[in-house]
Structure 1
């Protein structure tokens, strides 16, 4: 069944296979969103020689395939998947592709309890240059110990055992290869914070999210794996990300379609100002008291100022004038 809604594309973390997202994808399908998830080459590779570079190329090819079909995409990267998504999305942003006459592309990158790394940094660097106590290293194989408590502590015991049995090894190279790109300079981003995460503590998530600059947020009181313990909430976050991404790019498309981004930002602002002024004058004319009319003008001015801030966010030269929390959306969820 065809859908005009963005495709939600999941990148799993280390040790995990794509079937972990099945419940979220079912919830998204009910909401009308198509979705895809991939198995990364470094996860379960035999021999364990595939690394971050291989995962990056593989995911980039998948994103390009969907983009060439005209798909608008929201990429949701979990844990190590944040490292993969960073390089894979270089040049794949929707706005960037539109400028070169290409169709489709990525609307937003969502980090779900994921690593946000500067270019040239490896996952091993991100965890302090030393293997964690629950990382079992055997040559080029890296396995996860104590998974029920590290990944799934908010699931029933039977579910913990089920998903632990599905984990596979990750190649050592996935931890040692450096990230090749910083996508937040080119793409809108969201961070899904997992507040009870025992794999990546909340403080670490918040510190990494600080690199993203102006970004959207969604909070879950969950373990490292909210896609298993609260799939409907993750689907809600994905829908929010899609709506925010569409909103940003629809305004961009509107300006471009009218013949030039910066020039038309100001034209649209002038047109909207005239419309607001007409409405305000009409209201004052029929208002029973002057004070009431004055009270009405204030919301008009606030509305206009909000629009101006939105236009400034799109105009690259004015980007730095936007307060960091202007577009921040925080949703706390309870288990």
Structure 2
């Protein structure tokens, strides 16, 4: 399939991260013919963390990224959602599935959802609740200032399978995140819609120190829908530690979506 007919891959980063954190993955996606687009949202390093929320992140991604790509640029989209990005992408894509929009007379839509250790929240559930109602010790609350949080030690928690020589480079990619994004209820998720049957994929990270695999399993089971699950023996950031393998898996997922 020519690159012109491939969907745009929108990369929705996890909390504390930015699209630049995927720089090691993008060349492999580009080589495979995919255009990528950043899917950032306002609760990462906000000017006023008291005004941040999960619904605000969801609305921002939908209104400022997805709808312009679909309606103005005429592109199909595949979402890659990492960690908390799963909450944001899930809500933002609701009602935008390719089949749903086709029935409404629209020519473009969201072709599929790829969660890379993505957080799965139900309608009205916050991420804080989804992880058990308590922050793990590596989430440093009200740091560097009130209403924000950091992950420390980032190398041990997020990059445990990455080259330690990259530590200073990786530290620069981490940003403070608004706690209210984790504590406010999420809106209804797109993955619950039947229009995404056969169009949900999940990369389960088996050596994850941030979102352990048992949590990932709980989320998948809780969703009550079918996901195509592929295991990676990596930590929380396979797009840093195994970018080529992850890009190849993403391409396989997209091929499957496009064949339906």
Q: TM-score when scaled to structure 2?
A: 0.91
SS at match of 2:162: coil
Q: Note if contact 1:189-1:212 (Cα within 8 Å) is conserved in structure 2.
A: no
Matching of residue 229 in structure 1 with residue 241 in structure 2: yes
SS at match of 1:240: helix
SS at match of 1:8: strand
**What is the CA deviation profile of residues 24-71 of structure 1, one whole-angstrom value per residue up to 9, with x for unaligned ones?**
111011011111123321001112232212211111121111111221
SS at match of 2:202: strand
Q: Note if contact 2:93-2:189 (Cα within 8 Å) is conserved in structure 1.
A: no
Matches within 5 A, 1:34-183: 34-48=35-49, 49-61=51-63, 62-68=65-71, 69-138=73-142, 139-183=146-190
Match of 1:28 in 2: 29
What is the CA–CA distance in structure 2 between the aligned matches of 1:137 and 1:97, rounded to whole Å? 41
What is the CA–CA distance in structure 2 between the aligned matches of 1:131 and 1:197, rounded to whole Å? 16
Q: TM-score when scaled to structure 1?
A: 0.71
5+ long unaligned stretches in structure 2: none
Match of 1:294 in 2: none
Aligned length: 248
Compute the RMSD of aligned alpha carbons. Answer: 1.5
5+ long unaligned stretches in structure 1: 249-335
Which stretch has the larger CA shift, 208-217 or 105-114? 208-217
Rg (Cα) greater in structure: 1
SS at match of 1:132: coil
Q: Note if contact 1:197-1:223 (Cα within 8 Å) is conserved in structure 2.
A: yes
Q: Note if contact 2:92-2:190 (Cα within 8 Å) is conserved in structure 1.
A: no
SS at match of 1:107: strand
Q: Note if contact 1:41-1:55 (Cα within 8 Å) is conserved in structure 2.
A: yes
Q: Note if contact 1:60-1:88 (Cα within 8 Å) is conserved in structure 2.
A: yes
Distance 1:72 1:144, change over 3 A: same
Match of 1:312 in 2: none
The structural deviation recorded for 1:144 is 1.1
Q: Note if contact 1:148-1:161 (Cα within 8 Å) is conserved in structure 2.
A: no
Matching of residue 239 in structure 1 with residue 251 in structure 2: yes
Match of 2:213 in 1: 202
The structural deviation recorded for 1:2 is 6.1
Q: Note if contact 1:8-1:238 (Cα within 8 Å) is conserved in structure 2.
A: no
Runs of 4 or more consecutive aligned structure 1 residues displaced over 4 Å after TM superposition? none
SS at match of 2:11: strand
What is the CA–CA distance in structure 2 between the aligned matches of 1:233 and 1:209, rounded to whole Å? 22
